[in-house]
């Protein structure tokens, strides 16, 4: 894939190197020559230019690129102007834009940009999840507030029916399904003995070693893990 990255600060530079290492052809753009010098020997192409100058885009292969990533992280106004220019000069290229604030989000949405990234917030979120969900077997982030997690069923649940547990009322979580291993229960995704039992009902009995797939807020899931 041919990718243009505009803004080669810490985030943009790391992204350019990672994408290059994974076989993509990266064209980097920044208005600071020192940022260009750091990457000129490591990615396919780099150019020093003012991304807010529409006429400067003649030196960038916009029409040959599959994706443009606006990674500017110091100047919200410059990022917005760059996004507007790209939207104007190319109707086909997919644009991913870094957002620096909620207002920035609103403006990007109004411009028709659906792919918005928040590197700092996402990095903090992943670290928080790594710490907070230390005792979850696996989890999937739905958004900043809600997640789906796989956790071992508490011993106190063994032999009880789902309807008697009042999971939603007591713990503010919903049970999506149960993963069951009848012999020597262990958490191994490749274990052929691991079976998803499908949709649960109120009469479903919980067994020792069951893994519960639950949905709820991050806070409610964490409280559930503690029981």
Domain(s) of CATH 3.40.50.720: residues in the chain:
2-117
Q: Hey, which bits of 37-172 come out as E strands?
A: 45-48, 67-70, 94-98, 115-117, 138-141, 146-152
Residue 186: per-residue pLDDT: 45
Of 103, 109, 224, nearest in space to 157 by CA: 224
In terms of CATH architecture, what is 125-225? Answer: 2-Layer Sandwich (3.30)
Residue 2: per-residue pLDDT: 92
- What is the pLDDT tens value at each position of the chain, 227 positions in all? 899 999 999 899 999 998 998 889 999 999 999 999 999 999 989 999 999 999 999 889 888 999 999 999 889 999 999 999 999 998 888 999 999 899 999 999 999 998 898 887 776 666 656 655 666 777 777 877 888 988 889 999 999 999 999 999 999 999 999 998 755 444 444 444 668 888 889 999 999 889 999 999 988 888 888 77
Fold classification of 2-117 (topology level): Rossmann fold (3.40.50)
């Amino acid at each position: 894939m041919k990718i243009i990255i505009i803004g080669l600060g810490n985030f943009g530079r790391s992204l350019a190197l990672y994408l290059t290492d994974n076989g993509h052809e990266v064209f980097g753009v920044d208005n600071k020559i020192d940022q260009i010098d750091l990457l000129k020997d490591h990615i396919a192409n780099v150019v020093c230019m003012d991304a807010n100058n529409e006429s400067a885009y003649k030196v960038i292969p916009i029409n040959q690129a599959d994706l443009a990533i606006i990674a500017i992280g110091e100047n919200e106004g410059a990022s917005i102007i760059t996004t507007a220019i790209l939207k104007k000069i190319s109707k086909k290229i997919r644009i991913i834009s870094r957002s620096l604030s909620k207002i920035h989000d609103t403006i990007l949405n109004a411009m028709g940009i659906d792919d918005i990234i928040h590197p700092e917030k996402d990095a903090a979120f992943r670290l928080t999840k790594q710490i907070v969900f230390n005792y979850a077997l696996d989890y999937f982030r739905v958004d900043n507030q809600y997640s789906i997690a796989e956790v071992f069923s508490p011993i106190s649940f063994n032999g009880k029916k789902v309807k008697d547990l009042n999971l939603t009322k007591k713990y503010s979580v919903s049970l999506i399904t149960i993963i069951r291993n009848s012999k020597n229960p262990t958490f191994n995704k490749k274990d052929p003995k691991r079976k998803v039992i499908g949709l649960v009902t109120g009469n479903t009995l919980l067994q020792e070693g069951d893994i519960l797939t639950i949905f709820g807020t991050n806070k409610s899931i964490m409280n559930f893990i503690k029981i």
